[in-house]
Amino acid sequence: AEAVDQTVPAIEWVICQYEKRNDMKTAAGKRQLSTEALRLLVAVQDPVEREHYIEMVANKSGTSRNAVEARLEQIEVPTATPRRLKTIQPIEIDSPERIKELSTQDYLLALMSVERGAVDVAEKLKAEYFEGMERQALFAYLLSNPNHSLSDEVPEELQEIDTYVKVVLLKAETRYNTLDGSQRLVEAVSLVNQVKQQHQKRQKILLTEALRETESSHNETESDRLRAALNLLIKEK
């Protein structure tokens, strides 16, 4: 399976996946890449980001910037069904450890998207264990709608994060298509344990930092509360 632990923005990662899925030696393959990529760029409002991705699509498809811009204008969101567009932000990455944490969360959500049993395994987790609005929203949806297939159409409840959902589905296809049901469940158990451990580690760091602050300010009541919470967290497995 292909590893996706890369320090790249979500849209850039998806475009690279489209490039691999199409025959870039043919005109049809190049056009298909640009068509799929430009559908993502409709949601990018930031002019700097948009220019960056237009340049990328032009280079990968062997066309001019003007041609790409012209095609983008043709597939802009129709005025009959306006949507509030959001600027697509790059995934925040500041260390190899953080890359791994976010990747683990993404892969668990990807597995939950295609394997009903993985949703059952993940029921012990909470939305707060996942970082960022997109991951938390997708986790909550999958937990509430375990039998709904995201591969057919992104539901209305997830339209605000449809780009992230597409990234997750691509990761699921890349990593889990060749695994059978039992292999997927084994992977689900492993990922759930990793996400839980990562959350506990983050909480320990936060509680330890808060405890240092309260001790330095001689707030004994709050210090006692934080010590109790920290000790309880340390005992959890």
Inter-CA distances, 219 with 15, 44, 172, 209, 214, Å: 52, 47, 48, 14, 5
Give residue 171's pLDDT.
93
Give residue 108's pLDDT.
96
Token reading at 18? 């489209």
Inter-CA distances, 114 with 85, 122, 125, 196, Å: 27, 13, 18, 21
Distance CA 51, CA 136 (A): 30
Which residue ranges form the domains of the chain, and what is each CATH number?
10-74 (1.20.50), 92-237 (1.10.860)
Q: Residue 215: which of 223, 203, 207 has the closest Cα?
A: 223
pLDDT at position 113 over 80: yes
pLDDT at position 7 over 80: no
- Reported as a pLDDT band with limits 50, 70 and 90, residue 164 is very high
Give residue 104's pLDDT.
94
pLDDT at position 84 over 60: no
Q: What is the pLDDT of residues 11-51, one digit of tens each?
A: 777 787 778 878 888 888 888 888 878 877 776 777 778 88
- Reported as a pLDDT band with limits 50, 70 and 90, residue 92 is very low
pLDDT at position 189 over 70: yes
Give residue 4's pLDDT.
42
**Between residues 107 and 49, the one the model is more confident about:** 107
**Among 92-101, 146-155, 169-178, the least confident range:** 92-101
Mean pLDDT of 208-224: 82
Please say whether the beta carbons of 57 and 38 come within 8 A: yes
Give residue 176's pLDDT.
92
User: 168-172, long-range: CB within 8 Å, 24+ apart, which pairs?
Assistant: 168/106, 168/109, 168/110, 168/113, 168/138, 169/110, 169/113, 169/114, 170/14, 170/17, 171/4, 171/106, 171/107, 171/110, 172/110, 172/111, 172/113, 172/114
Please say whether the beta carbons of 200 and 126 come within 8 A: no
